[in-house]
Amino acid sequence: MNGYRDLRVALLGCGSVGAQVARLILEHGEELAARAGAGLVLAGIAVRDIDAPRDVELPRELFTTDAERLVQGVDIVIELMGGIEPARTLILQALQGGADVVTANKALLAAHGPELEAAAEQVGAQLSYEAAVAAAIPILRPLRESLAGDQITRVMGIVNGSTNYILDRMDRFGDSAEDAARVASELGFLEADPTLDVEGYDAAQKATILASIAFHTEVPVDAVHREGITGITAEQIATAKNAGYVIKLLAIAERITSSDGVDGVSARVYPALIRRDHPLAAVYEGKNAVFVEAEAAGELMFYGAGAGGKETASAVLGDLVSAARRHVVGGPGIAGSLHAELPILPVGEVNTAYQIMLQVRDEPGVLAAIAGILADHGVSAASVEQSVAQGSEGEAALVIGTHISREAKLAATVEALRVADMVLSVTSVLRLEGGE
């Protein structure tokens, strides 16, 4: 007996995160009750196989295979099953039954976020999902609440730990892409099928969530421009390092104005150069960080663990305590508002700078010709340098850094360079983000 009204909590899924959530609820019940203003009673844990091995020893009587029955009549549902179905249907049932829902399911949110938000708003329930982006890092609540009086202009995150681990090894230890991926895989940073990570799908799901919260606008995951890190070579890393940059896979959500004056949102994922003295450059190993720019607040960064059972459980519990408080206080939950309804603009409308690496004929007039191609497209060069890579006899390797320009112009410039006479090959094109 703790003197508080008790709230019943259902847990769906008991993998590495779910097991930690269950443990923390059971072990820190009194402390959670003091913070929530209500006792939190774990009503049950729905799993597919009751006898499967777990990270944590938990009372067997809590387990059930009947998730649908479990979500009936509880106050709060924590969904940690992952995947689209049955998670989506169970969450909708829970919300319709008046329960608050906490989830870490980024794939589901990226695909059906607006539907779930609408269902929550309809009944005045609360849907929260701090753990879905950058695990332990409190980022969604600060974006939604702490910056509620400000205008966010850009969110730029390292939100996939696996790819950050790979790129960091290549940068700091000089690993080849293959070696770095092997080490990442051995350490459990990569899934059996690493495509979701290395092709940027996981980061794109998080970009969708970040963009919708930062800009109050529905951003379908298909509208996120996506490039992965599979093409990144040791030579690109070395060239970047030499020029004072580091390559990071960034998920970017940005307020932009198109060339014909339309205010909208850009959401994109790609590997990009950032300056070594940028706060995101010091995000090592599998860590995550989200860099936020706002009109009044200026530059902010949120840094921490982007994965891990315990770490993710911390964010889930924060949402759980918040949901419990809402039950105690009453009133509707904080709904994800999509009131701004800004258009999603294509990547061609983004302002960025390019670093272009070329193999060219080593003969007089080449630089002038290249400068001419840039000028023809309205792009100005910030720097042109001999690359660290060596070409064969009669060849030179160049690294061109452009000033900031509209992406469409930069892309057209690269196409013109590709077919230019004196250009033997374009060996690398990378964007520069976070300032020249």
Which residues make up each annotated binding site for NADP(+)?
12-19
Helix, coil or strand: residue 286: coil
Q: Which residues are annotated as a binding site for L-homoserine?
A: 191
Candidate residues 9, 101, 300, 398; the one interacting with its own copies per rule CB under 8 A: 300
Which positions from 336 through 375 interact with its own copies, judged by CB under 8 A? 337, 339
**How many residues comprise the chain?**
436
- What is the spatial distance between Cα 178 and Cα 139, in angstroms, rounded to a whole number? 32
201-215 helix and 106-123 helix, angle to the nearest 10 degrees: 30
DSSP at 194? T
| Known catalytic membership, residue 310 | no
Which positions from 270 through 299 interact with its own copies, judged by CB under 8 A? 277, 279, 281-282, 284, 294-299
Candidate residues 99, 116, 320, 345; the one interacting with its own copies per rule CB under 8 A: 320
Please tell me whether residue 53 binds its own copies under the rule CB under 8 A.
no
Please tell me whether residue 180 binds its own copies under the rule CB under 8 A.
no
Nearest to 402 by CA among 394, 393, 412: 412
Q: Are 4 and 39 in contact (CB under 8 A)?
A: yes
∠ CA 338-343-346, nearest 5°, is 130
Candidate residues 41, 118, 234, 301; the one interacting with its own copies per rule CB under 8 A: 301
Residues paired with 34 in a beta bridge: none
Q: Which residues are annotated as a binding site?
A: 12-19, 106, 191
# chain residues binding its own copies, by CB under 8 A: 59
Radius of gyration over every alpha carbon of the chain, rounded to an integer in angstroms:
24
Nearest to 178 by CA among 133, 136, 234, 137: 234
Candidate residues 32, 209, 224, 256; the one interacting with its own copies per rule CB under 8 A: 32
Which positions from 121 through 160 interact with its own copies, judged by CB under 8 A? 130, 136-138, 141-142, 145-151
Candidate residues 10, 18, 20, 77; the one interacting with its own copies per rule CB under 8 A: 20
**H helix or E strand, kind and range, residue 182:** helix 177-186
The residue ranges that bind its own copies (CB under 8 A) are 20, 24, 28, 31-32, 34-36, 130, 136-138, 141-142, 145-151, 277, 279, 281-282, 284, 294-305, 308, 310-311, 313-318, 320-322, 325, 328-332, 334, 337, 339
- For the annotated catalytic residues, the residue numbers are 206
